[in-house]
């Protein structure tokens, strides 16, 4: 047709030369703009046409090669709840997956095979990464869920022992036994066992009720956050039932098996500890003096269990236990000031630190006077104040260092000294005790002299 024109061979050769120049121009501009390895890949494809697909392949090779270090340093955002061990384990697994990236394949391979292999590698690496991360995320989700704690019968004795503060209960029973042994009467084994068992049960009941009331406050303290009720190992109903099952038989044993006076002292001590001392711990520093009275009653109960009456010897034993508790507890509370303030307790060591140290020193010196009063009240011989003087002077010296230095080291030394000071003092007191026969002979002698005096006075 008129508009259709045929091209001559010269025109066709000119177009081919123009296309070749265009390709040559693209290659030269590409060589100046890309790094060395990209130039090497371009030079390897001499006889290939520069197509869109080939540019995509070159771009993938370049990104994979030069972003390899960046990909290895990349770390996904870790879960804040997961433990550090699991974070390290997850990071190691991800590094292993990243290290599996194979080096760049040569450019002379066919385009279809190279692209297909890269796609398969990417899919395989993504699948391995998902498989390695999925179990860790599943475990972290399971850890974040609430789990019901099941009570096993094998764990029940240990839980109840911690609920009743078994170590404190043992100390209470030992002081009760010391009071029974110091009484100036013949030793009655049955009465001694009943008094010890009843006092121990009453102490378990008081400690259990105390923990029942202080659950929200104990959870804020490092010292008490692992108690059974705080951790939910037992229910509050079970704790109250355990306290009732200890308190009622304990008071019944003391009242019916020993004597009513000892039973009344045991019931009063439970009331004083649970209804007075426990709430006062968050109200006033006077709780320390009330708690000292609670600790002073058990040796009095031991004395009344043996004699059936409140004598001067019972009050002396109670006074020794009363004074001993101040250096013991004040030194202990000094190292726990942060815990007590976090729990909301009003303690001398927190609110009145100077008074805390002074009171500890005063009562250490009071122990010297109480030990001297023992032979005056005809409880021990005069060897007791002499032998006990080094013990009392040493604890007084530590109390003076605690008063002067006011640091954790001096308070810790005073506390640990108080742990062995009390049993040593009671042991020395028992060895220096006046025997029942000596008192009986002395009473008979006084009675005989009184009879002679009456005889002489008669006409």
Domain boundary assignment for the chain: 153-284, 311-436
Q: What is the pLDDT of residue 438?
A: 60
Token pair of 246 as six digits: 């200890």
List C-alpha distances in Å: 182 to 307, 341, 427, 433: 10, 40, 10, 7
Token pair of 56 as six digits: 């995509």
pLDDT digits (tens, 9 = 90+) for 6-39: 455 445 555 445 445 444 444 455 445 545 554 5
Provide the 8-state DSSP code for 283: T
Rounded CA gap, 226 and 232, in Å? 9
Any bridge partners for residue 380, and if so which?
Answer: 433
Token pair of 324 as six digits: 């001993």
How much of the chain exceeds pLDDT 90, in percent?
A: 53
Rounded CA gap, 413 and 398, in Å? 7
Of 55, 66, 62, nearest in space to 38 by CA: 62
* Helix 236-252 with 189-213: angle, nearest 10 deg: 150
Of 64, 1, 54, nearest in space to 30 by CA: 54
pLDDT at 336 over 80: yes
Rounded CA gap, 126 and 136, in Å? 16
Of 422, 391, 357, nearest in space to 171 by CA: 422
pLDDT digits (tens, 9 = 90+) for 224-236: 888 999 988 899 9
Torsion (CA) 138, 139, 144, 146 in degrees, nearest 10: 100
Rounded CA gap, 217 and 293, in Å? 23
Secondary structure (3-state) at 322? helix
Of 220, 355, 332, nearest in space to 284 by CA: 355
pLDDT digits (tens, 9 = 90+) for 38-92: 455 555 544 444 555 666 666 666 666 655 544 444 444 444 444 444 555 555 5
Number of residues that this document lists for the chain:
459
- The pLDDT of 193-216, averaged and rounded, is 94
Q: Is 308 left (phi over 0), alpha (psi -120 to 50) or beta?
A: left
To the nearest whole number, what is the mean pLDDT of the chain?
77
Where residue 382 falls among pLDDT bands split at 50, 70, 90? Answer: very high
- The pLDDT of 316-334, averaged and rounded, is 95
Where residue 367 falls among pLDDT bands split at 50, 70, 90? Answer: very high
Count of CB atoms within 10 A of residue 449's CB?
10
Q: What is the pLDDT of residue 153?
A: 81
Rounded CA gap, 435 and 427, in Å? 15
311-436 is a CATH 3.40.50 domain:
no
Q: Is the pTM of this model over 0.85?
A: no
- Burial status of residue 371 (CB atoms within 10 A of its CB: 0-12, 13-18, 19 or more): buried
Q: Domain spanning 153-284: which superfamily?
A: UbiA prenyltransferase (1.10.357.140)
CB 331 within 8 A of CB 415: yes
Task: Answer positive or negative: Cα dihedral of 333, 334, 338, 341.
Answer: positive
Name 37's Cβ contacts closer than 8 Å, sequence gap at least 6.
62, 65
Whether the domain at 153-284 and the domain at 311-436 fall into the same CATH topology: no
- The pLDDT of 163-172, averaged and rounded, is 94
């Amino acid at each position: 047709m008129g508009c259709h024109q045929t091209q001559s061979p010269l025109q066709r050769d000119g177009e081919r030369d123009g296309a070749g120049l265009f390709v040559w121009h693209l290659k030269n501009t590409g060589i100046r703009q890309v790094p060395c390895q990209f130039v090497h890949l371009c030079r390897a494809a001499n006889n290939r046409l520069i197509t869109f697909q080939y540019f995509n392949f070159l771009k993938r090779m370049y990104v994979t090669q030069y972003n390899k270090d960046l990909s290895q340093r990349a770390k996904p955002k870790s879960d804040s709840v997961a433990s550090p061990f699991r974070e390290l384990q997850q990071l190691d697994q991800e590094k292993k997956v990243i290290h599996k990236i194979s080096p760049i394949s040569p450019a002379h391979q066919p385009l279809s095979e190279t692209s297909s292999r890269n796609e398969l590698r990417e899919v395989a690496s993504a699948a391995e990464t998902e498989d390695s991360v999925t179990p860790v995320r599943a475990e972290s989700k399971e850890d974040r869920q609430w789990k019901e704690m099941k009570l096993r019968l094998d764990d029940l004795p240990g839980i109840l022992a911690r609920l009743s503060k078994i170590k404190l209960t043992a100390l209470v029973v030992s002081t009760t036994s010391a009071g029974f042994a110091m009484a100036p009467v013949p030793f009655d084994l049955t009465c001694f066992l009943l008094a010890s068992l009843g006092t121990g049960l009453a102490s378990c009941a008081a400690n259990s009720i105390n923990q029942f009331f202080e659950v929200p406050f104990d959870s804020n303290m490092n010292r008490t956050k692992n108690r059974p009720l705080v951790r939910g190992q037992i229910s509050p109903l079970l704790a109250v039932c355990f306290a009732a099952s200890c308190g009622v038989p304990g008071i019944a044993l003391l009242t019916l098996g020993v004597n009513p006076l000892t039973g009344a002292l045991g019931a009063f001590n439970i009331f004083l500890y649970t209804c007075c001392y426990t709430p006062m711990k968050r109200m006033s520093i006077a709780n320390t003096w009330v708690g000292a009275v609670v600790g002073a009653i058990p040796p009095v109960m031991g004395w009344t269990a043996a004699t059936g009456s409140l004598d001067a010897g019972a009050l002396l034993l109670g006074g020794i236990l009363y004074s001993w508790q101040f250096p013991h507890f004040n030194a202990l509370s000094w190292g726990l000031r942060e815990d007590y303030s976090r729990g909301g307790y009003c303690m001398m060591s927190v609110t009145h630190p100077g008074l805390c140290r002074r009171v500890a020193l005063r009562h250490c010196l009071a122990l010297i006077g109480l030990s001297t009063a023992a032979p005056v009240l005809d409880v021990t011989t005069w060897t007791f104040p002499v032998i006990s003087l080094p013990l009392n002077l040493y604890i007084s010296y530590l109390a003076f260092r605690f008063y002067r230095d006011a640091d954790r080291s001096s308070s810790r030394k005073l506390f640990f000294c108080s742990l062995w000071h009390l049993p040593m003092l009671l042991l020395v007191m028992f060895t220096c005790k006046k025997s029942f026969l000596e008192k009986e002979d002395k009473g008979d002698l006084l009675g005989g002299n009184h009879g002679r005096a009456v005889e002489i006075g008669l006409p």
